[in-house]
Amino acid sequence: MSLQMMSHAALTARSVAVGSSVAVPVLRGFATAVPVTSPSRNHRVVVIGGGAAGLSISHQLLRSGKFSNDEIAVVDPAAWHHYQPGWTLVGGGLKTREELRMPLKSLIDPKLKFYNDGVASLSPEDNSVSLSSGDKIGYEHLVVVPGININYGSIKGLPEALADPDSMVSSIYGYDTVEKVFGTIKKLQQGDAIFTQPSGAIKCAGAPQKIMWLALDYWKKAGLYDAGNSSRSPINIAYATGLPTMFGVPKYSAKLEELRKERAVEGLFQHDLVAVDGNKATFARAGGPELVTRKFDLLHVVPKMGPHDFVKSSKLANDAGFVDVNDGTTQSTKYQNVWSAGDASSLPTSKTAAAITAQAPVLVGNLLSSLEGKGPKLEYDGYTSCPLTTEYGKVLLAEFKYGGVPKETFGNLLGIDQAIPRRAFYYLKKDFLPWVYKRYMVKGTWAGPKGWIR
């Protein structure tokens, strides 16, 4: 570890000494001197991941003007970049999954070196990354933002149920499964609908109930759901969550619990889905050995999620397998030249694209000051946001920071309460955010509620 710190300090010192406008860093010559174990190619910054975080961060770094062509590399095996915040709307029949995807390559500035490849392993002790192709690339600074993995296999019988086109089991969480969701909502005429949320970290913790509220509204408008008379309502709805409450932030949780009761949705708290078998769903109860089995006619599932293997098995990980970083600076707690944000990081906040808008400028500012031999200077306050569809045409706009403390953009600006679902927030979610994301955020020119960059 101390060796790593020394070599990193040495690298930084050299790059500062040669100046930022020099296109060929000293490192490349160094690489050819030790051919057997050395990387085939070196970059000043390697960014692992071409998602919301990877694109924002690599383009913000590039726009600093401190890098020449190919000094920053982006690594991602994907062919497509998805606007995942829109998938709830696909589930609700409001958008198509095709309109929310873009070829990843088309979003990457040609001045960045793009490795369209996976990562086999990370070697922070010698500042290198091994790619799936077998190539090894070196770096001065590493940004680990590959996102989170969806573990469909964590629920027994789920992969088979999702793959069966005739089953009433679906999930908004995957490109391959999101298309099925609205079909099952339209098909259900009567019976029990169950919407699940697992215990443990997932991306967009509000989405499991966003799709439920849309489905409820759809059935209500179709005359199939009557909250005022559960025994006569053709469809009954249950929300089965591994968590003890409707939402992690008390202010919004209170409002959502009120809606749940008002709309006669059964709350199955601390019910963690473990198996799907035919029309039966089995849940584990928190803190007890007992299992609960429920019959369903429609099941919307959110699988468990976790860090990618190459992150979990690396020296960068905490006990849970996420990249262990300082909550404020986003710097690795183990290696000073490693950074992380977003879903793959240990940052104790909700995993959303909105969080990235606040994390990216902090990470970038701190990385740049480290390249100049100074320490991190910016602090992330935990900002994240969850525009929660509560019906067609209305959204509750949760915005908060560390500690579950509300930090409301429009609350502060206009003096309104964002816990009250509003039509303006619905258009913000459906139209404004996808537009600003594609046009500005992934290009590194939008920092969320803080506005445009440069």
Task: Identify whether 252 is a catalytic site residue.
Answer: no
**What is the number of H-type helices and E-type strands within the chain?**
13, 22
**Closest to 46 in 3D by CA, of 129, 131, 120:** 129
CB of 440 to ligand UQ1, least distance (A): 9
**Using the rule CB under 6 A, is 433 a contact of ligand UQ1?**
yes
Query: Which residue in 204, 243, 301, 354 is the catalytic one?
Result: 204
Interface pattern 405-424 for ligand UQ1 (x via CB under 6 A): ----x---------------
Exposed e or buried b per residue across 186-207, where buried means at least 16 C-beta atoms within 10 angstroms of its C-beta? eebeeebbbbbbbbebbbbbbb
**Using the rule CB under 6 A, is 445 a contact of ligand UQ1?**
no
Residue 371 or 441: the one with the smaller Cβ distance to ligand UQ1 is 441
**Using the rule CB under 6 A, is 449 a contact of ligand UQ1?**
yes
Q: Are strands 128-131 and 271-277 parallel, antiparallel or unpaired?
A: unpaired
Residue 23 or 413: the one with the smaller Cβ distance to ligand UQ1 is 413
Q: How far apart are CA 345 and CA 323, in angstroms?
A: 5
Stretch that binds ligand UQ1, among 5-13, 165-173, 321-329, 349-357 (CB under 6 A): 349-357
CB of 397 to ligand UQ1, least distance (A): 6
Tokens (6 digits) for 276: 């799907």
DSSP strands (E only) in 104-156: 113-115, 119-123, 128-131, 136-144, 149-151
Interface pattern 355-374 for ligand UQ1 (x via CB under 6 A): --x-----------------
Residue 342 or 376: the one with the smaller Cβ distance to ligand UQ1 is 342
In the list 49, 387, 421, 444, the residue contacting ligand UQ1 (rule: CB under 6 A) is 387
Task: Identify whether 204 is a catalytic site residue.
Answer: yes
Q: How many residues bind ligand UQ1 (CB under 6 A)?
A: 12
In the list 341, 441, 442, 453, the residue contacting ligand UQ1 (rule: CB under 6 A) is 441
Residues 6+ apart with CB under 8 A from 317: 307, 311, 323, 324
Q: Is 54 helix (H, G, I), strand (E, B) or coil?
A: helix
Tokens (6 digits) for 109: 């500035």
Contact call for residues 271 and 195 (beta carbons, < 8 A): no
Task: Give Cα separations from 358 to 207, 354, 361, 452 (angstroms).
Answer: 20, 7, 6, 12
Exposed e or buried b per residue across 382-405, where buried means at least 16 C-beta atoms within 10 angstroms of its C-beta? bbbbbbbbbbeebbbbbbbbbebe
**Using the rule CB under 6 A, is 448 a contact of ligand UQ1?**
yes
Query: Which residue in 386, 388, 398, 447 is the catalytic one?
Result: 386
Interface pattern 73-112 for ligand UQ1 (x via CB under 6 A): ------------x---------------------------
Q: Catalytic amino acids?
A: 204, 386
Binding residues for ligand UQ1, rule: CB under 6 A, are: 85, 353-354, 357, 385, 387, 409, 433, 437, 441, 448-449
